[in-house]
Amino acid sequence: MTYLYELTDYLESIAPLQLQESYDNAGLIVGDKNLKITGVTVCLDSTEAVIDEAIHAGNNVVIAHHPIIFAGLRQLTGKNYIERTVIKAIKNNIAIYAIHTNLDNILSQGVNEQIAERLGLRDQRILLPKTSESTRIGAGLVGYLSNQMELEEFLLHIKKQMNASCVKYTDKTKDTVLKIGLCGGSGSFLLEQAIQEECDVFISSDFKYHQFFDANNQLVIVDIGHFETEQFTIDLLVEIINKKFSNFAAHYTKVYTNPVNYI
């Protein structure tokens, strides 16, 4: 029998909680650390539907990338999806754990490495290190394609490898690309760093209209959507957990939690 604290301690040995950003709320959000694990459901967003799925599967732990609670809850009346999810989890003795920006801020086994591997990038390193002494802890990632690619070819490569429904991008600055910057989730804050690094392309999500002008013809901004940049984090976490623990299983959620639709 494995206790919840054994699982969370292991996850935090890979992505320590102190590496999360100040605004974040990673860690154990709902539940008792001494809970005996029957099974784990892994997701990006711990919605009501995911809690229902976990209950049906007999899994009493949900590991999510995004925290269901960011700000403090003043009431639990079920008036919104956050409160309803928390109430349902508590009623059914389901623990919810989030591993968010602490997983974003590591190179090895991190969110951005997962993206880079799918795109076939080599010589990977952190785009904006937390400290000058470490190039393996910090925000974003920079790497190189094995060979130069035509921009249009690379955009189609991104769309296919990241299973993206839509690829938004700025004007072409050169015909071929080689040096790639990226950040899973909302990465516009790293644009200036990507420009300073002389990246040919910067891949992320959640760019506002006027922020696309900030490319300033120095690189190509590629926005593929928040969910799309992070969806393979589920694969990453399932692999991490199942390699370490054999007396329970980590399952991929079958619930599609992307709130954005395309037509």
Question: Which pLDDT score, from 0 to 100, does residue 132 have?
Answer: 73
pLDDT at res. 215: 97
| Statement to judge: residues 217 and 131 lie in one domain | yes
Structure tokens at 154: 């690379």
Query: Rg (Cα) of the chain, in Å, rounded?
Result: 19
pLDDT of 55 reads: 98
The three-class DSSP label of residue 194 is helix
Domain count, the chain: 2
In a domain, 81, yes or no: yes
What pLDDT does 134 receive? 81
Q: How far is CA 208 from CA 53, 214, 215, 217, 221, in A?
A: 34, 10, 12, 17, 12
151 and 81 assigned to the same domain: no
CA–CA separation, 221 and 42 (whole Å): 30
Regarding whether 142 and 115 lie in a shared domain, the answer is: yes
Residues 38 and 117 in one domain: no
Same-domain pairing of 141 and 87: no
Are residues 11 and 87 both part of a single domain? yes
In a domain, 254, yes or no: no
pLDDT single digits (tens) 47-57: 999 999 999 99
Residue 75 is part of a domain; what is its CATH number? 3.40.1390.30
* pLDDT given for residue 51 in this prediction: 98
Give the rounded distance of the alpha carbon of 89 from its chain centre.
22
**Residue at which a domain ends, from 47, 81, 103:** 103
Give me the pLDDT at residue 72, please.
83
Same domain, 99 and 151: no
Residue range of the domain that includes 126: 106-229
Judge whether 94 and 128 are in contact, CB under 8 Å.
Answer: no
Q: What is the pLDDT of residue 124?
A: 97
Coil, strand or helix at 154:
helix
Domain membership flag for residue 36: yes
3-state secondary structure of 177: strand
Which residue stretches of the chain have pLDDT < 70? none
Per the structure block, which two tokens stand in for 16?
């320590």
**Nearest-10 Cα torsion for 48, 52, 53, 59:** 110
